Amino acid sequence: MYEIKTEEFSGPLDKLLELIESKKLDITTISLAQVTDDFIKYIETLKNNISENQDDSDIFKNSRQLADFLVIASGLILIKSKSLLPQLELTLEEEESVFELEKRIQIYAQIKPLFALMKKHWLSTNQTYSRGLLLSMPTVFYPPKNIDGFLLNKSLEGLIKTLGSYFYEQEKIQRQLFSLEEKISEISKKIINGISRFSQMIDQKSKGESIVLFLALLHLLRDRVLDVNQIGTFEEMEITKL
Amino acid sequence: MEEITKNLKLTKIASLEAVLFIYGEEITKEKLAKILKTSKEEVEQLISEYKKILEDTNRGFYLIDKNDRIVLATKPEFSSILEDFIKDDLKEDLTPATLETLSLVAYLGPISRTQIDYIRGVNSSFILRNLLIRGLVERKPGKGGSFLYETSFDFLKHIGASSVEDLPEFEKYQKMKESFFSESVEDINKNNIKNEETKSGNNLSKEETNNQNSI
Amino acid sequence: MEEITKNLKLTKIASLEAVLFIYGEEITKEKLAKILKTSKEEVEQLISEYKKILEDTNRGFYLIDKNDRIVLATKPEFSSILEDFIKDDLKEDLTPATLETLSLVAYLGPISRTQIDYIRGVNSSFILRNLLIRGLVERKPGKGGSFLYETSFDFLKHIGASSVEDLPEFEKYQKMKESFFSESVEDINKNNIKNEETKSGNNLSKEETNNQNSI
């Protein structure tokens, strides 16, 4: 019978909602900023759980879930950074993503009761059965007209290709994942080496990696390891070690 | 005169029953019209009358109606009698993530993966693939090469419903969907899941979806 | 009081119909009594009443009662419609999904349904059943109650091959199969589909045993 697996953690929106509700806050941008630290802390505990886990397969699965958390975290970071650095001007796209996140949490809060409802329904209803395709039909040989080995070969080739790109996609998602700590130490090193501009740091990095880098930056900021100066709107962020 | 028309109709309903009985699996209304040598409109009418007839307490099966296809299945109240000799237990383990995705497909379907991901905040491609393999969910091509997901006949059979509308509070959540995606979903697509959807959309569109009905 | 007894009887007739509907082949009255948890005498009585109902109302099927065994069958007056329809249906060209499944069975067979589902990313039971009825594919029992599918001799002959090895690039795909199922399916299934996989295993054995006798 059905059982909730305890090691299965809830999704990022669910966690975020839980954090907001535990502080008895309404779903607003301000509340999101207030729970950002807790959310990042939660990601770190997740990450630690994953690395303690000996089973490779679970690491694969969990690290994918971690990636989902990081995407949401990037939106939160934006909100938080705005509250930490009021002079920070957000681009239109960023403004939208802040608004989006708030909206998504609201949607999630609205839809959440459905999951419990469905679970109850799924477990309590009665299975019905259809007869099965041509149940009492004897086998008769009806070959299709236009078919040969090459057609079969072509069809299989297409299928294998599709499957291949599915796996490629799965791998890509996994590759986008980088350890927070690794990035933190990378930032520290680069600062020490005199590379202080954020844009230099994210030079030639994928979007996913930039998010993690920015996240790490904010993390250091919070811990007062770094200081960030932005001279003006759309200007470079200057990073210095405290 | 009236008597004759009535008898003719009953004979047509009987032949509809014969076809559904022998075919045994979901069949399109279009195909039914062809077999019964009549219009699709008349088929619809015959189906709705047949549905009513099956509600009688002495009948052992009911009709599941989903978009353009229908199938006969044993009534839910006989599940305990039947499950003993048909070993099947779909009820066991659905992980919370699978259940979440399945509920969204059931209540908000037809729904795109992008929309599911948007609501769940999680990439759902893996879970959707699983649900497709299990046969609880099916998909059809939507706009722009992406897919729309909806629950399958096997899902309806599992919960003993004759259509998704039978689900508790179905309308409430369908309405909610409208409010969620009132601003164009395209914008949401653009902002959130950019790369992935287009890619796996391509993958999937290769495969053909409406494979269900022809032998 | 009388009303209640009557309703109870109707429900019993309905459950009899449900069992006969799903069973699909001749069933002994003794077995029916066991399934319906009642006496053989009551089963006899229910059958004769059910038979009468089927005769008096417009139905698509009737009850064949020979000696100790009964079965539902479509009424003879519909048989010409049904034969035409089935023949037409079976003569239709293969859909891309059916072709895809057939190519998998040809190149990677003997192959289980779970493996086919895994590679195709959708449930294939309907299509496999279709290929079996058309005589393009055959199956044999594999380990653990599941079936292994391979192309039929007739089909190979039809495409002018004396064995599957004659198929273009046969060896390449056979090798691929080894690498596929040595790690990936097992591992990936185990790792990612964990619960789901065992489940669909059950499913499969249900579906297959269910259809077994009929083919």
- pLDDT tens track for C89-126: 777 888 999 999 999 999 998 999 999 999 999 999 99
Report residue C200: phi and psi, to 5°.
-70, -20
Q: What DSSP assignment string belongs to chain B?
A: -HHHHHHHHHHHHHHHHHHHHHH-S-EEHHHHHHHTTS-HHHHHHHHHHHHHHHTSTT--EEEEEETTEEEEEE-GGGHHHHHTTS---TTS---HHHHHHHHHHHHH-SEEHHHHHHHHTS--HHHHHHHHHHTSEEEEE-GGG-EEEEE-HHHHHHHT-SSGGGSTTHHHHHHHHHHHT-S-HHHHHHHHTHHHHHHHHHHHHHS-S--SS--
Under the phi-then-psi rule, with left for phi > 0, alpha for psi from -120 to 50, and beta for the rest, what region is C137?
beta
pTM assigned to the model: 0.79
Residues of B in contact with C14 (CB under 8 A): 57-60, 75, 78
Q: Look at B95 and C195 and tell me if their CB atoms are within 8 Å.
A: yes
pLDDT at C51: 94
* ipTM reported for the complex, 2 dp: 0.80
Query: Is it the case that residue A208 has pLDDT exceeding 60?
Result: no
The residue with greater pLDDT, A189 or C30, is C30
CA dist B169 → A152, A175, B9, B77, B175 (Å): 47, 41, 36, 22, 10
Structure tokens at A41: 């802390």
C-chain residues near A133 (CB < 8 A): 126, 129-130, 133
What mean pLDDT comes out for the span B13-24?
94
Residue-level pLDDT at C137: 95
Among candidates A194, A207, A206, which has minimal Cα distance to A238? A194
For residue C188, the chain A residue with the least C-alpha distance is A57
8 A C-beta contact, residue C18 and residue B76: no
pLDDT band at A52 (very low <50, low <70, confident <90, very high): low
Q: What is the pLDDT of residue B119?
A: 94
Half-sphere exposure of C14 (CA within 13 A, CB side): 23
Single-letter amino acid code for the residue at C141: P
The answer to whether the Cβ–Cβ distance between B18 and C61 falls below 8 Å is yes
pLDDT tens digits along A100-156 = 888 999 999 999 999 999 998 888 878 899 998 888 777 788 888 888 999 999 999
Alpha carbon distance C113, A164 (integer Å): 20
Mutation to test the B interface, candidates C57, C126, C133, C189, most B Cβ within 10 Å: C126
Averaged in consecutive runs of 10 residues, what is the pLDDT profile of chain C (215 residues)? 79 95 91 93 94 91 91 90 81 89 94 92 93 93 89 93 92 83 49 36 35 33
Cβ atoms of C149 and C139 within 8 Å: the answer is yes
Please tell me which residue of chain B has the smallest CA distance to C120: B133
- Statement: residue B88 has pLDDT above 80: no
Task: Give the pLDDT of residue B199.
Answer: 38
> What pLDDT is stored for residue A7 in this prediction?
37
Between A12, A134, A136, which is nearest B121 by CB? A12
A46-50, A212-216, B36-40: which is most confident: B36-40
Closest Cβ–Cβ partner in B13, B60, B210 for C15: B60
Lowest mean pLDDT among A186-195, A207-216, B90-99, B118-127: A186-195
What percent of chain B has a predicted confidence (pLDDT) above 90? 60
Handedness of CA C165, C167, C169, C175 (dihedral sign): negative
CB contact under 8 A, C152 and A141: yes
Which chain B residues have a beta carbon less than 8 Å from that of C193?
A: 130, 133
Residue A217's pLDDT is what? 65
Find residue C151's DSSP bridge partners: C137
Alpha-carbon torsion (B131, B136, B142, B145), positive or negative: positive
Interface size A-C, in CB pairs within 8 Å, comes to: 117
Q: If you average pLDDT over residues A165-180, what whole number do you get?
A: 65
* A215 vs B46: which has the higher pLDDT: B46
Residue C110's pLDDT is what? 92
**Average pLDDT, whole number, for chain A?**
73
B contacts of A100 (beta carbons < 8 Å): 188, 191-192
Chain A neighbors of C130, CB-CB under 8 A? 133
The answer on pLDDT for A90 being more than 90 is no
Is residue B164 over pLDDT 60? yes
The winner for highest mean pLDDT among A212-221, B8-17, C169-178 is B8-17
Asked if A201 and A56 count as a contact pair (C-beta separation under 8 A), the reply is no
* pLDDT value, residue B3: 77
Q: Is C214 helix (H, G, I), strand (E, B) or coil?
A: coil
The mean-pLDDT minimum among B91-100, B137-146, C199-208 falls in C199-208
pLDDT computed for residue B115 by the predictor: 94
| Lowest-pLDDT range of B84-88, B166-170, B172-176, B186-190 | B186-190
Pairwise pLDDT comparison (A95 vs B190), residue with the higher score = A95
Helix or strand holding residue C44 (H, E): helix C40-56
pLDDT at C18: 96
Q: How far is CA C105 from the centre of its chain?
A: 18
Give the pLDDT band (50/70/90) at residue B126: confident
Residue B62 clears pLDDT 80, i.e. is over it: yes
- Closest to C119 in 3D by CA, of A11, A70, A159: A159
Q: Give the minimum alpha-carbon distance from B182 to chain C in angstroms, rounded to a whole number.
A: 31
Q: In what order do the strands lie in the sheet with C147-151?
A: C111-112, C147-151, C137-141
| CB contact (8 A) between residue C123 and residue B135 | yes
In this prediction, residue C189 carries a pLDDT of: 43
CB contact under 8 A, C60 and B20: yes
How many B/C residue pairs have CB atoms within 8 Å?
Answer: 168
Q: What is the largest CA-CA distance in chain A?
A: 82
Is A68 within 8 Å of B123 when comparing Cβ atoms? yes
What pLDDT does A57 receive?
A: 52
| Six-digit token string for C57 | 């109302």
The per-residue DSSP string of B141-181 comes to: E-GGG-EEEEE-HHHHHHHT-SSGGGSTTHHHHHHHHHHHT
- Mutant choice from A127, A142, A176 vs B, greatest count of B C-beta within 10 A: A127
Given an 8 Å threshold on Cβ–Cβ distance, is B15 in contact with C85? no
- All residues of chain A having their beta carbon less than 8 Å from the beta carbon of residue B90 are 127
Q: How high is the pLDDT of residue B169?
A: 95
